[in-house]
Structures are given as structure tokens and as C-alpha cells.
Chain A
């Protein structure tokens, strides 16, 4: 019913695909790049729930990613809190901050909402940068231990990659489940018409805050995974630029499409690796790709793929549906 089996199969296929990539590629120097792009994908999937489905823009999501990363890093390193507890606290801090900031912020609309989230992101970034005793300031915070679960230490890059791949698959599955529920419908309803949603008994303020917090939690999960992988953290990774990059991932991948966010995140995180041979021209190409993709694929890469499939399918119901 409602494509659950299809989703399940897709997620399984996706997980399988992620697991065999390293084997296909054979070499392992890019494993960290892959891990990082999957980490970004976790944030993008959450941001897509907020932006693509519920239609609420956030230009400050890097802040939640950073809050969780720093919280877990500081707790486990400076205060020797056990790793699982530190990581849980990191994710929780992201969620709680999202709740507190979300309640007043999500009353704003459109560009004003964009501005407010942007401002929040800048404030958090400055906080990372300036509370030197706590965060280590601009030069960063090192000596963070790598992830360890029940005695198993994710020492090798490949084991960490598998871990992040499984978490991403889980996040994708949860998101797909959410989308195909009354809550998912409520979110999509808010996107098209806030009035009609209210009339259908949907508490729009509550749902907006809910999805904001959920997306912050996803960003938090990504944050703790990031920090216990790189074992180092500096404010530069959580600035305004990264928030914008996250939004770009979602839009370029395809709004309101869980898979789109994954594709967008991987595309934008891996693309620079391919552009690297062009050295200085890289940045120009990157800009050009953004422009060209948006012009020719307005519904994102996932949207483009879907369209391609529809075009290949025999056209039978087309004439009936249109006026």
C-alpha cells in the first residue's frame, strides 16, 4: 500500500549500492570524500523535509550541524563524557536550539524567514569563533576521539564509511516513511496553502516547528558523525557558505524528493574532486554548473530523471488528464 514496498526495495537497493561502491572503485583514498558526501546527504535529506516538503527556507542549517559537532567534541574531549552520551547530547542540543529558535522564527515568511535563519547561522558561527576557551576558536579543536561503539572502534576509514552509509539509509527510510503519513501530507499541505491546511485542522505553527526541529536533529546526527570521523573541528566548516551550499544541494538535487537531496549532496560534494584538475578555473566551472543546471533542470536532477522516465513510458493517460 502507498508504495511502501517500493520504498523499502529502493532503500535496500540504495544501501547495497553504497556498500559495493568501495569495491567497484577498488582504491580507498577517496573513501573520506565519500563519507563526507554521505554526511552532507544526511543534512540535505533533513533540510529537504523542511524546504522541499514544508516550503520553509533555512539559510542557517550549518549552525545545527556545527552545534552538534562542537557539543559532542567538547563534552567527550574536555569533560571526558562517555562517547555515546556526548553524541546524544550533541544531537539533543541541536534539537533544543532548533526548538527555541524555531518557535519565534517560523512565524516569519519567505525572505524574512531566510534572513532570520541566516542571522541565526551567523550568530552561532561567531559564537564558535569567539568562545576560544570553549571551542578553541578559529584555529580549531583537536584531539577528539574517533567513534567507538560497544568496544568496537571505527578505526579504518572504510568501517566509518559503512557506518555513515547505514545511518544515511536509515535517515532516508525514516524520511520516506514520514512523507507517506498524515504528517507528511500536512507538511506538503503547508507548502501549498497555509490557509487550507489550517482549515483541514492542521496546526501549522506546530508542524513547522516540528519539521524544523527534525531537520536540525538530522543535521545534528551528521554533525556528530562528522566530528568523530575527522577528529578535528574548526568554525570555518560551519559558516554561511556551507549553509548556502546545503540549500544548493537540496535545490539542485530536486526539491520535495528524498532521493533528490541525496543525489544533490553527493553531486555537489564530489563534483569539486573532478573539477580539481582545472585548478583556478574550478570555481568558475562550479558557478557555471549551478547556473546551467538550474536553467535546464528546474526540478533538480531527480526531477529531471523522473521526467526522463515519464517520457520513455508509453503515453496513454496523457490526453485524458489534461484540459
Chain B
């Protein structure tokens, strides 16, 4: 009985020491809030893993400006309330210099104001355009906005002379973002929406919605969701109903998981995606090529599971913060924020970032490739 007690004491002592040493000068502390559990866990899990991976890699190389990088990760359980208390802890207890995450739009919107008030930069991994439009001084985000993805799909549709589409979106924050963009941008591009269907994230059958779409004369279907929230089922049900009109999906689908889930029904679907999932195919001269191949390899060796774009968003967020620190040679929150705005031509997984005081996402349409699935693998559509 005595031995475990001593170990326990030691463990406590170590924890206490690490807490007290937290204020020490040789450590840079970054906070992270990810939805590692709950409905958004497919996003948060990959992001958390990526953050851990980066922490290890960066410190192995001697840290940032010679200081050790410590990423303090909290799980918000996909809940707004938990995200708020995690933000409080990071800001008031851990005194971090910057925070990456949260994984979802509502959780980001819920804590934005705290970062404005505390004057600490937040680099979100959520897609919603509302996060950075209008621009908030202390808030940035790394995923490509829905607007860019939708614009990419619409221009592809136009190139194929399709003018009537039906949309089917998931009724969570992610699907809502896509739905609003599609409804706003499609008419401007001269494309008519013949149907606007919705399904819940946990729905298991979309035959009914697709049957309705089938009865309209839509020439293409655009569906907004992730592999875990119905996109695979939409693809499957479309195949089952024998529908031949092309199916466009969102950039959130870009993960090997989707191919596994949709099986043969995934063949031929189209989507705009960051280059992460087609890293092999990216031409060698593309600036992203090297880092994409390395990230895919490192992630998949360490965690034994395929990468997703979401992990990439966390990669971008952490590395952007690191870049900003190195750029200004300062780990003060205000300097990090100022230097984030100065970052130009930063090569990330989602694309090449160019920030400015007016632009806190830093990506443009060139971040996307149109990809499809051929013989069970992602292929760039030329």
C-alpha cells in the first residue's frame, strides 16, 4: 500500500510543479478548444490529434524561438456552455498567448467576445463565414469559407451548363452555412434552385428527400454535410434510387472515411476540396506538395487512421500562430495578433494564406481543387 501512495504523491508533486512552472519564461503556452467528444467529435478528434502531433514535432526541433511549446487542449464536448468555460480557463487560469479552435461555428461565435475583451488572438477551426465577416480584431479562422466552396461548385456547374439544381443540406451549423450560401449565390450565378431539402445530422435515410428532388427537373444535386453527418447516406441513397444527375458535395466530405462509408455509391461524385486528400496527385511544383505529403505520412503513422481536412485546419491554426510568433519574435498576445495580420504567402494544408487587417481567413478560391472519386480513390478533376 505504501508504494502506490508514494507514486501518487510524486505524481501530484509533478503536476504541481508543472503548474507553477507554467509561468516560466522558457515555455510558450497556446490554448486549444476542440470538440473531441459529442456530435462534432469527428472534427475535434482529428484536430486534437494534429495539435498533439505538432507539439511533439515542434519541441523535437527545439521549440519556438528556443522556447518549449505547450498546447493546452480542452474538450468542449460539442457544447456551447463547455466551450465558454474552457475559454475562461484558458484565458484566466492558463494565461495562454493565443488559442486555436473551437471546432464548430456556434462554439466559436459564443466565445469570440471573450477574446476581444481579453485581447488574446483566437484562430478558429470552424467554417462559418460569420466568424470573420465582419472582421473582428482578435478572431481569425483557417478553414476555407463556405462562400469559396460554393463559388467553386457554382462555376463548375456553369462550365457544364447546368442551370437547375436541387440542394439537400444537413441541419447543423455546417450545413446551415452551406445552405445559406447556396441560396444567396446560386441566383446570382443564374442558377435556379428547384428544391431545398434538409435532414438531421443523425438521420439514417434520405430516400424521401431524394425522391422529392427526383420529381423536380434538377440537373444536379448539391449536398452539404460531412461523411459522419449524412453525406455518405445521401450518396448511397442516390445510387439506390438510380439517379443519374451529378452529385456535388461539400469540402467537409474530403476524407478517406467517406470513400469507405459510401463504397461504390461514391464513385463519380464531385466536390471542391483542399489539396490534402489528393496530396499524391498534387504536382510537385505546387508549394503545398511537400508539407501535405509529410503531414499525411506523420499523422497516419502516429494515429493509424486516415487524415481529414479537419485535422488540416488545426495544423494551419497552430502553425499560423507559431509563424506569427517567429515573425515578430514575440510571444505577447498583442504582437501575435498584429503579426498574424502580416502573414503573406503562408503555405498551409487548406491553401496559401494571405492575411491582412481586412481579411482574417486569408484564403481564396485557388485553395480548392474539384475532386472526384475514381476506383475508390480521390482524383483531381482536370
Contacts and interface: CB of A to CB of B under 8 A. Distances in A.
Chain A bound to chain B: yes
Residue among B77, B109, B130, B175 with most chain A CB within 10 A:
B109
Nearest to B94: A29
A234 B92 contact: no
Interface stretch (A16-24, A129-137, A215-223, A288-296): A129-137
Interface in A236-283: 236-237, 272-273, 276, 279-280, 282-283
Given A140-B106, A232-B109, A276 B75 contact: yes
A30 B89 contact: yes
Nearest to A229: B84
B142 to A, nearest CB: 17
Contact of B110 (A29, A138, A140, A273): A140
B37 interface: yes
A138 B173 CA distance: 5
Interface string B74-97: 110111111011001101110000
Given A130-B198, A232-B80, A33 B110 contact: no
Interface in A125-156: 129-130, 132, 137-140, 142
Contacts of A173: none
A173 B79 CA distance: 31
Contact of A236 (B80, B112, B128, B177): B80
Contact of A33 (B78, B88, B176, B177): B88
B109 A273 contact: no
A77 B296 CA distance: 45
15 contacts: A32-B88, A33-B88, A132-B176, A137-B173, A140-B110, A142-B109, A142-B130, A234-B80, A234-B106, A234-B109, A234-B173, A236-B78, A237-B79, A276-B74, A279-B75
A31 interface: yes
B314 interface: no
A287 to B, nearest CB: 13
B110 A232 contact: yes
Contacts of A31: 88
A28 B36 CA distance: 25
B80 A140 contact: yes
Contacts of B36: 279-280
B112 A142 contact: yes
A36 interface: yes
A170 B273 CA distance: 55
B364 interface: no
Given A140-B110, A232-B109, A276-B74, A29 B92 contact: yes
A231 interface: yes
Interface in B2-56: 36-37
A139 B80 contact: no
Given A232-B109, A234-B110, A30 B173 contact: no
